[in-house]
Chains A and B, each alone.
Chain A
């Protein structure tokens, strides 16, 4: 592992050298990550605008389902990317990856909120009784809601002020629950599909391999 880290650093450092790594991150990489993270939402907004103006088929035959699935897919993808930050750091040795963790985690929460909002406001059209029944009776929705509650707590405590207020140790412990949110998200996805389908298995597989890299990193460090 240390060999890998050696050559990665050897390649990355000269690239970074004209600018300080700090400036590069703030001026270039962060805006790029912002842009990439907003792209799925902007694309969806574009499709929705198309659907109501010129092309009723832009969101397919069942736009409500399309909207909800699309947002759910991206919520889970961003959650997995957030969970991939530490494994990436372990694999490459580039410690600066960590500086994108909060941003990407918050974007995961952003898509989770939109996914839930589309379920409440569009799919169920604010039928609160039906929503409540879903949450208590339908296991995959219970699981999804549990992930949402966890991620809300993490988003709410994501500021520097909250780290200070909670104390590093407690804050760290709380933010470990992001693993649970990842697992719940994958189960939620697996459960809503009929039959033995491929995509939920792929997402689950990615999550497991991310855990494996972390575990491996821990073992190496002893």
Chain B
């Protein structure tokens, strides 16, 4: 073990180059390197490393840093404390083992009950839309939480283009299944591929975000590059990462954690302080960066936007 004693001459956190400036320099170096490589081997392109590419012209929404009611979780915590079992079950496994993952080129297969099925590239899906910044509270089923400035497109805008038919009542999603690129899949912690799903009205809710970035940049690999879902009133595992398939179905689709432990993880998995996980209480949460636990809010504080979808439904039974 390496014990590092800080010296007086060491760089203090406050002296480190501001991230924006650092990124500018990196981008310049990278462009120069790519151009150089292009000259050398006669091809230009070479996608830059994910997570370091700035996303320009973000539309500010009513879900922003001022209205979220809490301080943003640090970029470092958001990108180094992750549950992404495709890269290992430890919290720091994803940042370690997703380092070399190449998220582009990327394609999503769209099938099932819709008028525009087919295979869409990342650019097909994302480029026609204006990107929005959405600062959401994020609540993990393990009783910790964060506040994250995501970047994305309302999922409803994407779904409208895919034109589901009248029979489509659910939307199912699948994560990439490729143990060579996602080493955590070499062990059967869950039945791969990871699967998630939403009811059509949940998928069309204005809060549901087809997410391509965070902190104004493309998604880092460990956060589900290049495309993930963010469903802020549900436990984090519903916000499926690295999506390669979208299917419109008439029946409720199977979902990974529900298949693994049906008593512990329901299809809905709405954040609810009154419905405990069988193994631990959901009444409180620890916001990453804070010491004391705080009470968890019903539907993660988004009840105004989403509670009407569950009117008359027994949330204890349909957990």
Q: Is the CB of A196 within 8 A of B293?
A: no
Q: Is the CB of A196 within 8 A of B188?
A: yes
With known contacts A61-B76, A62-B286, A125-B292, A191–B279 Cβ distance under 8 A: yes
Q: Is the CB of B281 within 8 A of A61?
A: no
With known contacts A61-B77, A61-B80, A195-B260, A46–B85 Cβ distance under 8 A: no
* CA A138 to CA B278, docked complex, whole Å: 7
Tell me, rounded to whole Å, the shortest Cβ–Cβ distance linking B129 to chain A: 31
* The 10 A-B residue pairs with the shortest CB-CB distance in the complex, in nearest-first order: A61-B81, A61-B77, A195-B189, A54-B6, A197-B89, A61-B288, A195-B190, A196-B189, A138-B279, A195-B260
With beta carbons under 8 angstroms apart, the residue of A62, A133, A134, A139 that contacts B91 is A62
Residues in B lying within 8 Å of A, measured CB to CB:
1, 3, 6, 76-77, 80-81, 85, 89, 91-92, 142, 144, 187-190, 257, 260-261, 276, 279-281, 283-284, 286, 288-289, 291-293
Interface hits, A64-91 → B, CB 8 Å: 64-65
Q: Is the CB of B293 within 8 A of A125?
A: yes
Residues of chain A within 8 A of B76, CB atoms compared: 57, 61
Tell me, rounded to whole Å, the shortest Cβ–Cβ distance linking A214 to chain B: 30
Residues of chain B within 8 A of A193, CB atoms compared: 89
Is the C-beta of A198 less than 8 angstroms from some C-beta in chain B?
yes
Q: Mark A5-45, 1 if CB is under 8 A from B, else 0.
A: 00000000000000000000000000000000000000100
**Residue among B6, B92, B279, B289 with max Cβ neighbours from chain A (10 Å):** B279
Is the C-beta of A60 less than 8 angstroms from some C-beta in chain B?
yes
Sample 12 A-B pairs with CB under 8 A, ordered by A number.
A54-B6, A55-B6, A60-B80, A60-B81, A61-B81, A61-B91, A62-B91, A124-B293, A125-B293, A134-B281, A195-B190, A198-B89
Q: Is the CB of B81 within 8 A of A62?
A: yes
* CA A193 to CA B89, docked complex, whole Å: 9
Interface hits, A190-209 → B, CB 8 Å: 191-198
* CA A195 to CA B89, docked complex, whole Å: 9
Is the C-beta of A109 less than 8 angstroms from some C-beta in chain B?
no
Residues of chain A within 8 A of B286, CB atoms compared: 62, 64-65
Tell me how many residue pairs across A and B have CB atoms closer than 8 Å.
62
With known contacts A140-B279, A195-B260, A62–B144 Cβ distance under 8 A: yes
Residues of chain B within 8 A of A139, CB atoms compared: 279
Total interface residues in chain A, CB < 8 Å: 27
Is the C-beta of A136 less than 8 angstroms from some C-beta in chain B?
no
Is the C-beta of A149 less than 8 angstroms from some C-beta in chain B?
no
Is the C-beta of A174 less than 8 angstroms from some C-beta in chain B?
no
* CA A139 to CA B92, docked complex, whole Å: 27
* CA A186 to CA B91, docked complex, whole Å: 21
* CA A130 to CA B276, docked complex, whole Å: 13
Residues in A lying within 8 Å of B, measured CB to CB:
43, 46, 54-55, 57, 60-62, 64-65, 124-125, 130, 133-134, 137-140, 191-198
Tell me, rounded to whole Å, the shortest Cβ–Cβ distance linking B307 to chain A: 27
List the B residue with the shortest CB-CB distance to A53: B6
Q: Is the CB of A43 within 8 A of B81?
A: no
* CA A137 to CA B293, docked complex, whole Å: 19
* CA A55 to CA B10, docked complex, whole Å: 12
Residues of chain A within 8 A of B142, CB atoms compared: 194
Tell me, rounded to whole Å, the shortest Cβ–Cβ distance linking A196 to chain B: 6
List the B residue with the shortest CB-CB distance to A57: B76
* CA A196 to CA B1, docked complex, whole Å: 30
* CA A198 to CA B186, docked complex, whole Å: 12
Residues of chain B within 8 A of A191, CB atoms compared: 279
* CA A194 to CA B281, docked complex, whole Å: 15
With beta carbons under 8 angstroms apart, the residue of B91, B260, B291 that contacts A64 is B291
With beta carbons under 8 angstroms apart, the residue of A62, A125, A130, A195 that contacts B281 is A130
* CA A134 to CA B286, docked complex, whole Å: 17
* CA A133 to CA B284, docked complex, whole Å: 13
Apart from A61-B76, A61-B91, A194-B257, what are 15 other A-B pairs with CB-CB below 8 Å?
A54-B6, A60-B81, A60-B92, A61-B81, A62-B81, A64-B291, A125-B292, A130-B281, A133-B281, A138-B281, A193-B89, A194-B89, A195-B190, A196-B190, A198-B89
Residues of chain B within 8 A of A64, CB atoms compared: 286, 291
Residues of chain B within 8 A of A60, CB atoms compared: 80-81, 91-92
Residues of chain B within 8 A of A197, CB atoms compared: 89, 189
With beta carbons under 8 angstroms apart, the residue of A46, A54, A140, A195 that contacts B3 is A46
Residues of chain A within 8 A of B85, CB atoms compared: 195
* CA A138 to CA B276, docked complex, whole Å: 10
With known contacts A60-B81, A61-B80, A43–B91 Cβ distance under 8 A: no
List the A residue with the shortest CB-CB distance to B291: A64
Tell me, rounded to whole Å, the shortest Cβ–Cβ distance linking B284 to chain A: 8
* CA A195 to CA B261, docked complex, whole Å: 8
